[in-house]
Structure 1
Amino acid sequence: MNSAARRIGRTLALVLPVVLVLSGTLAVTRVPWASPTSESQMLTASSGTVTSHQQAPHRAPQDVLRDQLLAELQEKNPGTALTHLQEATTKRPSLAKHCASIARALGRAAVEKYGAAHRAQAYSRPVCDTSFASGVATAQ
């Protein structure tokens, strides 16, 4: 009887931690990685674990905005991206000092997308003075 109890104890000692780990992993299949306003940025538990020294570095708001606007330029057009740049700098005045560099990046990306500088220049808006036009000119 003592050996039967020992065998059951060993089996539980091996199986129970595996069951607990698997049930915990399955219970938490998605981990919110970014702020609640950021959509579709989820990290699944099966794609790896992240320790405290492996976390993604904090990105500056102007970098996030630039990347969003560059993606929007590719999906839609430079005019829409420039309009949203103006709206973003109006809502968050702290972004205004980065407006010119973001507009130049949009100008360069517009030339890459549309090829001819005159076609990219057609989307120019009075945002951040002539920074978009400067970006178009430097991309030639």
Structure 2
Amino acid sequence: MKHSTTPQTRRGRGPARRIGRSLALVLPVVLVLSGTLAVTRVNWSGDSSSPVLAAADASASKASSRTAAPAPHEVLRDRLLTELQEEDPGTALTHLQEAVDDRPSLARHCADIARSLGRAAVRVYGPTRAQSYARPVCDTSFASGVLAAHG
């Protein structure tokens, strides 16, 4: 058996090696240029004449207007707290129960609102008088709010 005297190793002469070297030189240049072009497409002046930027601004303004409006349960709580101060806790609790009956989606917030009413009642009427208004609206959350504010 005869062996060849020429070495069988390729020292960078194959097509895969040439392609790899070409990519190693060209790819960073392409990436830098594409990044530079992307940065130049951004409107840094704040003028929203671009349709893409105008759509982004419109969605941002819609999101801010949604966050600016209080949730229905917050509106109800604020209205009932005002009512508690102007009238009495019993009236506020009655209106809370009516609101929950009219809009079942408010039921999950009922206990929190009743606790808030209980704490406010202690501040306005004192613990003993506030407790006299307790009734089974949203379980015993009004009473627990009274207890939390007193204790």
Instruction: Tell whether the structures are fold-level matches, with TM greater than 0.5.
Output: yes
Give the match for residue 101 of structure 1: 112
The answer to whether structure 1 residue 132 and structure 2 residue 142 are counterparts is yes
> CA deviation digits over 1:61-113, x for unaligned, max 9?
00000000000000000000000000000000000000000000000000000
Residue identity (%): 68
Deviations 1:26-59 (A, max 9, x none): xxxxxxxxxxxxxxxxxxxxxxxxxx69868011
Q: TM-score, normalised by structure 1?
A: 0.60
Q: Report which of the two has the higher share of helix.
A: 2
Structure of greater Rg: 2
1:121 to 119, 128, 131: 131
Q: Does residue 76 of structure 1 match 2:81?
A: no
The number of residue pairs the alignment matches comes to 88
Which amino acid is 1:72 matched to? E
User: RMSD of the TM alignment (CA)?
Assistant: 1.5
- Point out 4+ residue stretches in structure 1 off by more than 6 angstroms: none
Q: Which has the higher strand share?
A: 1
User: Please, what TM-score do these two structures have when normalized by structure 2?
Assistant: 0.55
**Which consecutive residues of structure 1, in runs of 5 or more, have no partner in the other structure?**
1-51
Unpaired segments ≥5 residues, structure 2? 1-60
- State how far apart, in whole Å, the 1-side matches of 2:69 and 2:130 are: 32
Q: Write the distance in 1 (CA, Å) between the matches of 2:136 and 2:128.
A: 17
More off after superposition, 99-108 vs 54-63: 54-63
Q: Which amino acid aligns with 1:126?
A: P
Matches within 5 A, 1:27-106: 57-106=68-117
